[in-house]
Homo-oligomer: A and B are copies of this chain.
Amino acid sequence: MVDGTTGGEGLLFLTDEQLRKGIEAMFFAYRGFTADPDRILEGMDYGRAHHRAIHFIHRSPGTTVSNLLSILGVTKQSLNRVLRSLVEDGLVESRVGKQDKRERHLYLTAKGAELERALSDAQRARMRAAYRAAGPAAVQGFRTVLEAMMDPELRRQYQGLRDGNA
């Protein structure tokens, strides 16, 4: 049924050893992936959690807190702590919803956008170098495998740019 035993050529890319290499590749690559933003953030009062919030507010300006909660997959208390400091420091603006005044819509301020740019420039530079070194076909495969690795719910978050706002 799941086969794996197709006789013949035999799916070498599915051996335990190949899978282990894939696992370690994810581990080491993720370190590289976060290294540059981490370096920028260290010293400032911020960490990765702030980076993530800034990233997704940038991607979806006007997103609500609960929207962000479901994307980031943390508790509101945890997110709130991060958001509060960003708002206090004037990087993020929180506007009361017009239609539903319970909701808060989040936007980067000019200052917030500036930090976002610094962070994503660094991260994109690494990604660009990796893409360039690997070539378009490899990039295609990279994206395909990553997508298949996501939880279905997260895959929807990833694909769906639908963030409603209001």
- Residue from B22, B131, B142, B157 in contact with A127 in the complex, judged by beta carbons closer than 8 Å: B22
The answer to whether A44 has its CB under 8 Å from any CB of chain B is no
Q: Which residues of B contact A132 (CB under 8 A)?
A: 4, 14
The answer to whether A136 has its CB under 8 Å from any CB of chain B is yes
Give the A interface residue count (CB, 8 A).
Answer: 61
B20–A150 touching, CB < 8 Å = no
A25–B131 touching, CB < 8 Å = no
Q: Which residues of B contact A31 (CB under 8 A)?
A: 73, 150-151, 154
* Binary contact track A3-47/B, C-beta < 8 Å → 1, others 0: 010000001111010111111111111111101000000000000
Q: Could you write out 11 A-B pairs with CB less than 8 Å apart?
A: A11-B136, A14-B132, A18-B131, A20-B124, A24-B158, A28-B154, A28-B157, A28-B158, A31-B154, A32-B149, A35-B151
